[in-house]
Structure 1
Amino acid sequence: MAREESGDLTVSQGTRMLFYLMTPNETSFSDVDGVPRYVQKATPFFVGLVLLEVFVAWLKTGDLLIKINDGTTSLAAGMISRLPHLFVRSLEVSSYIYVWNNFHILELPWDSAWTWWLAFLGVDFGYYWVHRFAHEVNLLWAAHQVHHSSEYYNLTTALRQSVTQQCASWVFYLPMALIVPPSVFAVHIQFNLLYQFWIHTEVVRDLGPLEWILNTPSHHRVHHGRNLYCIDRNYGGTLIIWDRLFGTFTPEGDKVVYGLTHPINTFDIMSVQFHYYPYLWEQWHKAEGIGNKLSIIFKGPSWAPGKPRLGDHAEVPVVTGDELPHNPRWAPALQLYVHIQFLLVLGVYNDLFATQHMLSQMTVLLLTGYILLTLTSLGYIIDQSPNAAVWEMLRCLIMMALYRFGWISPLMSQLAFATEVFVSLSALYWGLQCFTQTGKEKIH
């Protein structure tokens, strides 16, 4: 008999699912539609671990771990990566269901612990190759580089996800669809992702014997480094055994310097998500001959004519260990403003996912556009872009209209009037900034 999708998770379940400690008995479902949206339900548990990490780091170092500019950008990337799920089922799951319905050759029992553990290994093995190809194929790296663009390493970095990566990752899981029911796969594809949240931290240093089997914070710190010894290493999701088997494992050694080998130095969320595609097009256009053009797309990100398939790592910029992350100074008042506006749009985002089944497609599309506009505008403010004032004024006016006509609501009903006043004053402030900038341009 199928279990029905549960409402809220208990604190125990929500915590355990982040560490892949849910049992086969409590996570086996006969039908894929009965599988809970674990990733969507994980938000409060993400927040809880982030706050715990900040508190522990503060006790250890006396420093606030998360910078508003970087943390906000990471959270914005995570939000954008989930927005397509408002309109279509995960491409990984939908393609898996199609292959299962038309081509499966054996039907393993959905309620068997053996099936559950086989799916655990199968999804993690598939993820290893998804991840490795994302680093070794330039076209796939264009999507995956989003996750590596932060020069910090904390739990918010885990949420810096690509909106386009699923366009290719689904292929690697299809062999499982020949024998493993979709409901079992739908559980493990979520748990494999959720497990990787907690390993994005510097608070946990070493896990002893578990380092031989599991992917741990130590192993994954290496993966996020731009030091020479870190590049293209430690691709595992939950397990590190695949890296050990296929020769891509490297233990943590020298101090890891995080980020891309060529830092992007921006917090504009659209640039973070998509900047590599124009670069890829430019490289393809410059390449001479069809062979070189195809190599630009399908070989490694640092490949060039006459170089090995993955390029020459000796040409990677030297990292001394003294590099400081891109963290331009900006006014505390603006930091507070961005923080408040981000919390407001986060409320809209959570409400949208919670109520999407009750809304028309046009309403969902409208609110999705507003969320994208907000995250883009806040990125302009963080970057101190000349375009920030006009975009933020426009966004605040749209926000006022959405509030007035009931499309969106404040975080708490008691704050409705205060929210409207705040947004109105914000629109006025940014409007004055537009006129001030225009006046300066005329003077010059």
Structure 2
Amino acid sequence: MTVILFAIPLFFLLIGIELIVDYKRKTGHYRTNDAITSLTAGVLSRVVAIGHQLIPFTVYILVYDAVALFSLPDTWWVWIVAFVAYDFFYYWNHRMGHEMSILWAAHVVHHSSEDYNLTTALRQTSGALFSWIFYLPLALLGFEPAMIITVGALNLVYQFWVHTQHIKTLGWMEYVFVTPSNHRVHHAQNRVYIDKNYGGVFILWDRLFGTFIPELKDESPVYGIRGALKSFNPIWANLQIYSQLTRDSYHTRSWKDKFRVWFGRTGWRPDDVSARFPQDKKPLSEFKKYHPKIHKAVTRYSLLQHIIMLGVTLYLLLNIGALPTSHQLIAVVTVIVMSIQNGFILSQSKMSLAMEGPRLLVFPLLWVAAGMGTAALVYAVCSVISLFVLGIAVRYTHQRPPLEEAVLPTEPDNLA
């Protein structure tokens, strides 16, 4: 967690630089609605991790203490071996996350973005409950828990920079490391690219196990998933596939298939369910990005709420050890409610705008009543400013026809 926290300022600096480059080159790789959703999903993944990350960490420690075969010294070469070994097991964790339905249900969040930029790297799942199992062999080999947590965080930090379209190929690096070019392939929904390039840091594992493909000159990647999310709600992004698997498992008449739905190959559905509830997936040539039209004033209000939510999250993460449980809970609920509301706003829900007024009144009072001190005062001031901006957004929405805030993918997005 500490490594990730230190890396956050660097992440936002690089996003800012990419935004400037994107604007100057007029490439249009950013849309405000999609970028906000990616960042919000990343925030939720960090907040939810507060609750469930202790479980895998505890299991790893138990295995390490009970059955570690070796006692490895804390030397530089052990750290290098740990870094490489972690990436090897990450490859298999990542690969199974694409090839088994229940694991894909968690990982799909990261692939649900229909854009590809540095914010996509932060669109992480809040429900990876089983990935820790893949790293238990490292405990068996004797790698200390703190070492694995650190190299795992470094692995994740490395993967950030490869989520860009502004870097083409990188010569010899393409043969050894995961690069923007070969990772763009991984995020594509083109049939030729599906289930390829799983590596985190090293592309060597893909070359070794037959899952590598280079970015083809005559096949531009089309980003997103075939069963498109069609929502900017980060909660639904986390639940979409779980919901489908639950329905399929419930409706199939075969008890064997009720189990296979969850642990079978990704995309597999029982014959009786497919017949009763067919899924119509249009050809890739007909694919269009999900892009509801909303007034610029509404998008600016949404962007303001996202910035405030980032502030609440940063306050929570930096003070997690000092905050009482009740204050932690209030901050977490605030982040979750703001995330859901913002998703509805970006999806053109007028009801969500109507609900913003009560939210902006109730939550600051909750913070004050809980005795959250200076933080409550700051949050209340932000809410007052938000009420003013909300009034402008509602007025423009009613007085003028909706205008599309995020322009076509061939032009740069205006985040102002």
Report the TM-score when normalising by structure 1.
0.81
For residue 428 of structure 1, report the CA deviation from its aligned partner: 6.9
Select the residue among 259, 275, 282 that pairs with 2:247: 282
Give, in whole Å, the separation in 1 of the partners of 2:390 and 2:24: 39
Question: What is the aligned length?
Answer: 386
Q: Does 1:129 align with 2:92?
A: yes
Q: Is the 8 A contact 2:298 2:393 kept in 1?
A: no
Give, in whole Å, the separation in 2 of the partners of 1:416 and 1:141: 40
Q: Is the 8 A contact 2:367 2:376 kept in 1?
A: no
For residue 411 of structure 1, report the CA deviation from its aligned partner: 11
Q: Is the 8 A contact 2:293 2:348 kept in 1?
A: no
Q: Is the 8 A contact 1:390 1:430 kept in 2?
A: no
Distance 1:173 1:382, change over 3 A: same
Distance 1:102 1:144, change over 3 A: same
Q: Is the 8 A contact 2:301 2:389 kept in 1?
A: no
Q: Is the 8 A contact 1:78 1:159 kept in 2?
A: yes
What does residue range 17-416 of structure 1 map to in structure 2 within 5 Å?
Answer: 37-60=2-25, 62-87=26-51, 89-110=53-74, 112-165=75-128, 167-178=129-140, 179-253=142-216, 254-305=219-270, 317-320=282-285, 323-402=287-366, 404=368, 407=372
Report the TM-score when normalising by structure 2.
0.86
For residue 317 of structure 1, report the CA deviation from its aligned partner: 4.7
Alignment deviations for residues 243-298 of structure 1 (CA, whole Å, 9 cap, x no partner): 11111111111100000012121101211111211111111122232222222111
Give, in whole Å, the separation in 1 of the partners of 2:176 and 2:293: 42
Distance 1:176 1:403, change over 3 A: closer
For residue 357 of structure 1, report the CA deviation from its aligned partner: 1.2
Distance 1:153 1:333, change over 3 A: same
Q: Percent identity?
A: 34
Give, in whole Å, the separation in 2 of the partners of 1:138 and 1:88: 21
Give, in whole Å, the separation in 1 of the partners of 2:222 and 2:178: 19
Distance 1:49 1:219, change over 3 A: same
SS of structure 1 residue aligned to 2:90 = helix
For residue 416 of structure 1, report the CA deviation from its aligned partner: 7.3
Partner AA of 2:132 in structure 1? W
Specify every segment of 5 or more residues in structure 2 that has no aligned partner in the other structure, as ranges: 272-279, 397-416
Q: Is the 8 A contact 1:138 1:301 kept in 2?
A: yes
SS of structure 2 residue aligned to 1:326 = coil
For residue 343 of structure 1, report the CA deviation from its aligned partner: 0.8
More relative contact order in 1 or in 2 (CA 8 Å, sep 6+)? 2
Specify every segment of 5 or more residues in structure 1 that has no aligned partner in the other structure, as ranges: 1-35, 307-314, 434-444
Counterpart for residue 19 of structure 1: none
For residue 394 of structure 1, report the CA deviation from its aligned partner: 2.9
Partner AA of 1:198 in structure 2? W
Partner AA of 1:169 in structure 2? S
Alignment deviations for residues 90-113 of structure 1 (CA, whole Å, 9 cap, x no partner): 544332222111221211002x12
Give, in whole Å, the separation in 1 of the partners of 2:338 and 2:373: 13
